A and B are shown apart, each in its own frame.
Chain A
Amino acid sequence: MPEDKKEIVGYRQQPGKLDFTRPGSGGSSPNSEKRDPSMIPQSQGGELDQPWGPHRHDDLVTGRIIGKRTPLIDSRWKVTGQAVYGDDVRLPGEIIGRLVRSDRHYAKVLSIDMTDVESIPGVLATATGIDAPSAFGVLPVTKDEHAMALEKVRHIGDIVACVAAEDEETARLASAAVRIEYQDLEPIFDMRDGLKDSPDPIHDRDIYHIGESNVQKRVFQRFGRISDLKNSIASYENEWTFKGVNHGFTEPHAVVAHWDPRGRLTLYTPQQVPHYVHRALADVLDIPMHQINVHRTYVGGGFGGKSDPFPHEMCAAILARKSGRPVRITFDREEVFWTNRGRHPSRISMAIHADKEGRFSGIETDALIDGGGFASFGHVTTYYNGVLHTAPYEIGAFHYTGARVWTNKPASGAMRGHGAVNSRCAVEVGIDHISEELGVDPIDLRLANLLPPHSATITGFRVTSIGMRECLERVRKESGWDKKFRKMPLGKGIGVGCGFFISGSGLPIHWDPNKFPHATVHLKIDMDGGVTIHTGAADIGQGSDTVVGQAVAEVLGLPMDMIRIRSKESDTSPVDLGSYSSRVTFMNANAAVSAAMEVRSELIEAASLITGVEASCLVLGDRRIFNKKDPAVGVSYLQALHKAQEDRGALIASGSYRTPPMGKMHKGAAAGLAPAYSFSAYVAEVDVDIETGRIKVEKVWAAHDCGKALNPLSVEGQIIGSCHMGLGQVISEEMKYGRTGNLLNPDLLGYKIPTVHEMPEVVPIIVESNDPEGPFGAKEAGEGPLLPILPAVCNAVYDAIGVRTNELPLTPDRLYRSIEKACKQQGIKDPRDLPNPSLEQTPLSDILIRRAKDHAKRDRERRLNPNPDAYYNGQLFNRHDTGPPEENDPDWTVQVLPDQEYLENPKLAGSAWLHKERRHMEGVE
């Protein structure tokens, strides 16, 4: 036997002697150790400052990746044009599908005649609603969509039929040749009409239908000391109108469906939530889930707009099944607007009250939101419009009435900042006004009313880490606020706004929280040493693949090029609930950390066997496992790995994450519950041309508390990107509907997304509050940063010209109308003579500043205390008991159904409660 063969035989006895080709996974030399002390937390003997105390993941930090600016793991695919998006999936024999859409607002479909279509050469399949009659929808409680219209079309653009043909031209001709006979019904476009009884409600929910109206969901919540509201000394009520906003992602929806030769369906789709599509497909096509593979392609932007299971996805699958060929359907931009799911057009009336000590004695909100033709996420949106403004301020009372109605327009749904954006704008503008009435600086007022860390909000959300105070202090300092606020000349202004958002929905849709985890990550490491991460989390451009890779690389002490992600196919990825509610970093990285911990302990075990050093003394460094006390004693990562693989092969680990039990028991208590919350504060500086109403946002200081920036490059990208999207909503973006209900601007020319020239300079400021539950302390950074920009700009406009507005977007014509109105009210001819708002500070100011100082101290103590006392919203109002207020305070209201007194004089959305559900009507069993 030749010499070298003997070596192989002896491999088991002599670990590490086998000659591998260079995998590049060394780290054998004690000098290869590249722990960067500035990235190791103080609690582990490093130099990384921890003003918020230690974290449970500190001992996993190997000091290389977390917190470092890391380019997206898939960015090279994107910059070389090799990334495959929905429309780039080209399969052998692929044909083109085209959807036939309704040209009626609201009509019964009497007949569909395909004879002309079938005679066109090259047409391979057609389908109509009866081919797939099962209903689906993103929320199990409101399944109201079908692949194609069954008996009614509900808005222009609703899908009636579909065709597939050899090429696009034929498909377009064929779709135009479908003859449909309609019988028009009376459409409604104004959301207020949706509250009334109608002869033909847009959907029929049987015994659960609310009267004969188009109310899809209604909410009533009343919490706290309602009776104290009368002690308020300042109140501000405003009636807001917000227009619908579209996500405006650059990639139009596209899908490819392919039934493979074994009869399984693969659906290629740019989806944020592949798992729900998976479920919906199984329902609609009536096949078991295991016969379906959902392949998420690269996603050209989602922002919530690609998170419903869509009818066109079903249509592609149906056409592919009928034709036996792969079918691709790609949308025109116009179809994107008809599919919509953007931000709800809303009418919000918001009243904010403050008492003589400058505390918010109450917030009363009434929000009517326009859902368009389908339910989508609307059930949740209706809650979010209220419950997501119960923090970051401590409030004495909270009263919310909300309703969502169906109208004959494209459906609204979830969009970045889901449900929180519009009402947050109203709250923050209200606070700005109140501070003026009280004669105090709005930042001082906010700082003196913040909830402390580890507290419960008025409706029972558990707030853990809160960096709101730091956000406000940072933007105040960096923007030079104190020198500018109310001191700039007419036309120039500065304004502040804050935000609060969930970091992962605590009660996921389609899930039994008692049985399944929210996120699962699998790891596989074979002899080459590279780590394959299987995750179902959808990378939609936000960088979720990168973050999960970072988490694993950090724990295992490996460089990023040894990490590869398989996140695209449901066949190979564990189920993940998808990229919505800002849950991915929080939940998925937590799951990844726990999987990596498992591998880590196996590696340490193996290293301990080789070196004889006790496992508890070993730590991981740069591809090396060594004795903490004597770093020269250790083994390379590969040696340990190969030892651990003996007799079993590849290391496999699975980690998962589930939120802890949280929240209260009242109806709707789960909406808005999250394991952590993010906070943000922005200051915007604007220049308003008072003669034309044109706004130029000059600069924005944007502070966001993301817990811990795992990848600061991405966090900054998210902050700036959020600013851009929010800016669009405040200055130019709106879905315009004409008097006859037609969408007037279903294209990117009429729908004005800010270009580079409208964008202000954004100074992203990252605040790290080190969340106890988040992975390495992280919370979300994708949605929350959008919220503050709207009110910051509105408040800055007020500072500039002294005019309050109540309608967005602030297009020049709209703002100019408000300027004209203000001139008329004040009897001024030339708008340039409008009074410039100024601030006369009252003695309350000093009280607030003192209180803010005390609170800052209280907060510091609470966040460093591992077991702080319970703190319930309301303690600021001199309640001295420390238990839940509803149990201790006899005046404390908890009410989730309206009483007779309210119903005698309801607000707009509240009037939805005047209807009885059909099952409660007389004569109905």
Chain B
Amino acid sequence: MASHPLPLAGNPPVEVWTASVNGKQVQTIIKNYDVLLDVLRDGIGSLGTKRGCDMGTCGCCTVLIDGKPRLSCMTLALEAKDRQVTTVEGLSDGHHLHPIQEMFAECGGSQCGFCTPGFLVTSAALLETNPTPTRQEAMDAIEGNLCRCTGYQQIVDSIMSASKILSEGIQNKPITEPASDPDPGFGG
């Protein structure tokens, strides 16, 4: 154990970090060795991005940088400077869920949900480049993500159903409007 209290003495260089996170221009002060995951969670408050291992083995922290899935725990924030970062919070527009989100909820793609943000952005990126993947392609896309609950099968099901929705162009219902009831219940 270190006997000196401050093995990393000295002030690390800090700088202003700017990027577009979920379509919004953000600015925060970072230390130059900060990893993107920390900046997203602690600096920007994007708590949807999860930390499962901090060493690139679980995929929970996956975000999209310029549309490509990247492990944010293995990415220096500086590498993402001035680039487009998309996290799970950026998939829905606030009123409509992205079909992949809707299908993960519907098809059992999410049990405990901790791995879900990583899977969602990874599969959203897949569907962006390949809207009609085969099952095998979907499996290849998520090979870097671990899920301990679902055994992946229902995750792949979710991706396939989302791909169907996307390719058929079905618009999903807005989530911010409560279900209306044609029959409100005050008659006889």
Contact = CB atoms under 8 A, between A and B. Distances in A.
A85 B114 contact: yes
B108 A27 contact: no
Interface string B52-67: 1111011010000000
Contacts of A356: none
B180 A249 contact: no
Interface stretch (B126-134, B148-156, B163-171): B148-156
Interface in A673-726: 713-714, 716-717, 720-725
Shortest 10 CB-CB contacts between residues of A and residues of B: A81-B48, A541-B112, A26-B185, A78-B113, A300-B114, A724-B151, A75-B105, A24-B181, A636-B185, A720-B151
B151 A117 contact: no
A290 interface: no
Interface string B30-65: 000000000000000111111111110110100000
B148 A724 contact: yes
B117 A76 contact: no
Contacts of B142: 756
A721 B111 contact: yes
Given A71-B106, A636-B185, A755-B143, A176 B2 contact: yes
A16 B47 contact: no
Interface string A456-492: 0000000000000000000000000000000000000
A270 to B, nearest CB: 9
B116 A28 contact: no
Interface in A728-753: 747-749, 753
Given A23-B184, A639-B185, A250 B106 contact: no
Given A76-B105, A300-B112, A639-B186, 18 more contacts: A24-B184, A26-B182, A74-B113, A78-B116, A79-B102, A80-B91, A90-B45, A173-B5, A173-B7, A173-B8, A176-B7, A249-B112, A298-B113, A303-B148, A333-B55, A638-B185, A713-B154, A725-B148
A137 to B, nearest CB: 26
B2 A716 contact: no
A638 B181 CA distance: 13
Nearest to A300: B114
B147 interface: yes
B176 to A, nearest CB: 11
B88 interface: yes
B148 A637 contact: no
A120 interface: yes
A119 interface: yes
Given A720-B151, A755-B143, A29 B87 contact: no
Contact of B114 (A173, A177, A301): A301
Nearest to A16: B186
Nearest to B113: A78
Contacts of B117: 81
Nearest to B144: A755
Contacts of B101: 79-80
Interface string A536-564: 00001111000000000000000001000
Given A301-B114, A749-B57, A28 B185 contact: yes
Nearest to B121: A81
Given A177-B2, A756-B143, A757-B143, A79 B105 contact: yes
B18 interface: no
A17 B46 CA distance: 47
Contacts of A635: 188
Nearest to B105: A75
A323 B7 CA distance: 25
Contacts of B147: 250
B177 to A, nearest CB: 11
B47 A717 contact: no
Contacts of B104: 75, 78-79
A198 interface: no
Given A28-B188, A80-B48, A541 B113 contact: yes
Contact of A638 (B45, B114, B186): B186
B187 interface: yes
Contacts of B23: none
A116 interface: yes
B115 interface: yes
Given A25-B181, A724-B148, A78 B187 contact: no
Contacts of B50: 85, 250-251, 300
A415 B152 CA distance: 20
B110 interface: yes
Nearest to A719: B151
A759 B185 contact: no
B154 A716 contact: yes
A252 interface: yes
18 contacts: A26-B181, A75-B106, A76-B105, A76-B175, A80-B48, A251-B50, A302-B112, A332-B54, A333-B54, A541-B149, A637-B185, A716-B108, A717-B149, A717-B154, A720-B152, A721-B151, A725-B148, A748-B58
B79 interface: no
A389 interface: no
A114 to B, nearest CB: 11
A90 B47 contact: yes
B92 interface: yes
Interface in A755-805: 755-757, 759, 761-762
A81 B47 contact: yes
Contacts of B143: 755-757
Nearest to B90: A81
A247 interface: yes
B58 A179 contact: no
A63 interface: no
A662 interface: no
B153 A82 contact: no
Contacts of B88: 79-81
A332 to B, nearest CB: 6
Contacts of B7: 173, 176
B105 A81 contact: no
B139 interface: yes
B154 A720 contact: yes
A28 B97 contact: no
Contacts of B139: 756-757
B144 to A, nearest CB: 8
B172 to A, nearest CB: 12
B82 interface: no
A722 to B, nearest CB: 8
Contacts of B87: 81
Nearest to A79: B101
Contact of A119 (B5, B89, B102, B108): B5
Contacts of A178: 1
B58 A28 contact: no
Nearest to B186: A16
Contacts of B108: 71-72, 713-714, 716-717
A251 B48 contact: no
A28 B188 CA distance: 6
A299 interface: yes
B135 to A, nearest CB: 10
A27 B107 CA distance: 28
Interface string B72-96: 0000000000000001110110000
A372 interface: no
Interface string A159-201: 0000000000100011011111000000000000000000000
Contacts of A342: none
Interface string A25-67: 1111100100000000000000000000000000000000000
Nearest to B1: A176
A364 interface: no
A815 B46 CA distance: 46
A329 to B, nearest CB: 14
Contacts of A543: 111
A74 B113 CA distance: 9
B156 A756 contact: yes
